[in-house]
């Protein structure tokens, strides 16, 4: 296949921006040019690469070409920075864009300081996703790197263990006295309202399974925000599994208490990234590893 760089850039921009018009603005060309380049790319590949929906979506074949397009875009950006490096911060028209998948709790606690140490020539596109599901975004080429709970490397990626986040079942003191005054048992867990991040959040159920051989289905609140989740537990909406990184001050001040003794769950975290020799990607990996070493359990 004869795949042209401008065609690959058009595909990447269309999927990233969601429409041909937005892709055209991003690349400073006309929507007609975007359409022609993608049609030429599909002719070269011999198959349909995009679903012309709103937003546009890559087909299964399109995902394979999209991964190539984003790898080339990253390497081209690295090369532009290297050629422009004269001992000062390089000035380039298009900064390197790094899409990364991060779980909400890591994003709210220790990841942002790591990203702040990145070069000014890098722009981040953060995809917030549960750590159990970030590998899907790596497989389909949506992101170049991810914080994941999976130790097995996605094909074409390399993996490094970062550490673990420790979660404990916590509640507002009044809530704990009302619902767990007689202790944390299968019966009290079945009655007490619980807070979950979303319907993919299994951490609370994983903890409850330790207390019962039967499924427990208490009243559930879904709060899809790390900050909002913690606030819901603090005001007594329900109990929830909260990371130690978010609760030390609350426990010291008596705003939160553990409801099940010293029970906890350690969630291991790994850094997975495309197996590319990219200074930009390597720099982010180094910053993430350093921040994780300071924040996570080893």
Query: In this predicted structure, what is the pLDDT of residue 94?
Result: 64
CATH top class, domain 1-94: mainly alpha
Question: Is residue 149 scored above 80 in pLDDT?
Answer: yes
Query: In this predicted structure, what is the pLDDT of residue 93?
Result: 53
What stretch(es) of the chain map to CATH 1.10.10.10?
Answer: 1-94
Per-residue pLDDT tens over the stretch 169-209: 999 999 999 999 999 999 999 999 999 999 999 999 999 99
Query: In this predicted structure, what is the pLDDT of residue 202?
Result: 94
Fold of 165-267: D-Maltodextrin-Binding Protein; domain 2 (3.40.190)
Query: In this predicted structure, what is the pLDDT of residue 239?
Result: 98
What stretch(es) of the chain map to CATH 3.40.190.10?
Answer: 165-267
Percent share of the chain, pLDDT over 90: 75
- pLDDT confidence band for 95 (50 / 70 / 90): confident
Per-residue pLDDT tens over the stretch 232-280: 999 999 999 999 999 999 999 999 999 999 999 999 999 999 998 888 8
> How much is the pTM?
0.81
In this structure, are residues 144 and 281 in contact, taking their beta carbons and an 8 Å threshold?
yes
If you average pLDDT over each of 77-86, 109-118, 217-226, which comes out highest? 217-226
Question: Is residue 91 scored above 50 in pLDDT?
Answer: no
């Amino acid at each position: 296949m004869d795949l042209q760089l401008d065609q690959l850039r058009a595909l990447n921009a269309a999927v990233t921006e969601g429409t041909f018009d937005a892709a055209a603005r991003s690349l400073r060309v006309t929507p007609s040019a975007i359409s022609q380049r993608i049609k030429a790319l599909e002719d070269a590949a011999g198959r349909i690469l995009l679903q012309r929906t709103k937003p546009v979506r890559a087909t299964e074949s399109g995902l394979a070409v999209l991964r190539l397009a984003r790898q080339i875009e990253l390497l081209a950006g690295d090369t532009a920075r290297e050629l422009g490096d004269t001992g000062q911060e390089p000035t380039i028209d298009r900064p390197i864009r790094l899409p990364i998948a991060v779980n909400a709790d890591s994003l709210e606690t220790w990841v942002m300081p790591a990203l702040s140490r990145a070069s000014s020539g890098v722009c981040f596109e953060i995809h917030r996703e549960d750590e159990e599901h970030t590998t899907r975004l790596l497989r389909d080429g949506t992101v170049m790197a991810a914080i994941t709970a999976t130790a097995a490397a996605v094909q074409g990626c390399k993996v490094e263990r970062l550490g673990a986040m420790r979660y404990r079942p916590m509640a507002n003191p009044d809530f704990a006295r009302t619902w767990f005054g007689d202790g944390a048992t299968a019966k009290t867990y079945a009655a007490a309202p619980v807070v979950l991040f979303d319907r993919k959040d299994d951490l609370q159920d994983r903890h409850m399974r330790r207390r019962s051989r039967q499924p427990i289905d208490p009243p559930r609140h879904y709060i899809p925000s790390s900050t909002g989740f913690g606030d819901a537990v603090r005001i007594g909406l329900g109990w929830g599994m909260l990371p130690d990184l978010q609760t030390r001050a609350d426990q010291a001040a008596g705003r939160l208490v553990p409801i099940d003794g010293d029970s906890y769950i350690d969630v291991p975290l790994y850094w997975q990234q495309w197996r590319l020799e990219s200074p930009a990607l390597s720099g982010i990996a180094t910053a993430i590893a350093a921040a994780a070493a300071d924040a996570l359990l080893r």
